[in-house]
Amino acid sequence: MIAKLKNNSADSVKALFKFLDDASLYFHYLENEQVVIIPKSNDISLIKDFEVVETIYPIDTPFQLASNIWKKTTTIDFSDFTIGANNFNIIAGPCSVENEEQIFKTAEFLSKIGVGLIRGGAFKPRTSPYSFRGLGVDGLKILKQAAKQYNLKIVTEILDLSMLDDVYQYADVLQVGSRNMQNFYMLNELGKIEKPVLLKRGMTARVYEWLLAAEYILSGGNEQVILCERGIRSFDPQSRNVFDLGAISLIKELSHLPIIADPSHGTGASSRVLPMSLAAAATGADGLIIEIHPEPSKALSDKEQALNFTEFEDLIVKLGNLIPNLPYNKTFTLPNKSILNFQSQ
């Protein structure tokens, strides 16, 4: 269960903590939210008479803070747009930062289209050590320069805690990739930062394991978590992954956290990104993260799944015409003014 505390004296809080200690009940206190998590008990009678307790939420799931019993909606607020609630957002950019020309060309294009978030990998986790693994800090600097010039926010991946200072300095949203979803020590540290974390589903993870990974970040005090469905591994070689649209609906039933979809990794083929993007929007996703490239055939990583600029424009227009007709009352949020014409503008 979760207990929300009143603004009482420190002595009142200490009295509650002493009682929980004496009763051998493990608890976790989030001081900035004045919340006590007691994960192994749902017996309200134990603490309901303490004056310091304002509200008790009995939650019968392994994940507590990620549950929508405790909280109905989480939004990630930037200066001129919001992720979550009734907003549908797009994150787009190349798989890898390759050079200045590629990133500046992409940033200029995204700004004209109206997209406010650019993605790009400066550090790339690759199956083969001989594949292109990114430009490192130089890639982060290129992203920052382009983002500043074209009024964009940066989404980029952190692979290891040793990179935290560098990535934190340049990124607006820190992405945790599929391979790191259960890197619990890193998730713990990301719970201490003051920037949003985009948590991708592990390639073999069940939904409750994914939500428990989010719980590591939330229990550290960082409320700014965005979930991302990116497909799960299957036995079928014809598709890179199984794009689990049902997980989007399930997350909406279980959690208050915003969830976006990654149809690029979910399908592994640019020809299937458009239909799966529309399907994810129809399922209730709060947004998409899409791989695009000025010249996909020349991309140094994931070229098979990257859209070119014309294909991405087509996707934006179709989403803009679809979203107002869905039963979710979502607004297609394009922070920058778009040169394209579609229904929701």
- Could you tell me the residue ranges of all domains in the chain? 2-57, 76-332
In this structure, are residues 70 and 42 in contact, taking their beta carbons and an 8 Å threshold?
Answer: no
H or E segment and range at residue 275: helix 273-283
**Structure confidence at residue 8 (pLDDT):** 77
In our burial notation (b when 16+ CB lie closer than 10 A, e otherwise), range 145-181 reads ebbeebebbbbbbbbeeebbebbeebbbbbbbbbebb
pTM: 0.94
**Structure confidence at residue 337 (pLDDT):** 84
Superfamily of domain 76-332: Aldolase class I (3.20.20.70)
Collapsed DSSP state (helix, strand, coil) of residue 83 = strand
* Number of other residues whose CB lies within 10 A of the CB of residue 141: 17
Taking the C-alpha atoms of residue 8 and residue 10, their distance in angstroms, rounded to an integer, is 7
Q: Which residues of the chain have pLDDT under 50?
A: none
**Structure confidence at residue 345 (pLDDT):** 67
Taking the C-alpha atoms of residue 331 and residue 166, their distance in angstroms, rounded to an integer, is 34
Collapsed DSSP state (helix, strand, coil) of residue 344 = coil
**Structure confidence at residue 130 (pLDDT):** 67
Q: Count CA atoms within 13 Å of residue 87 on its CB side.
A: 19
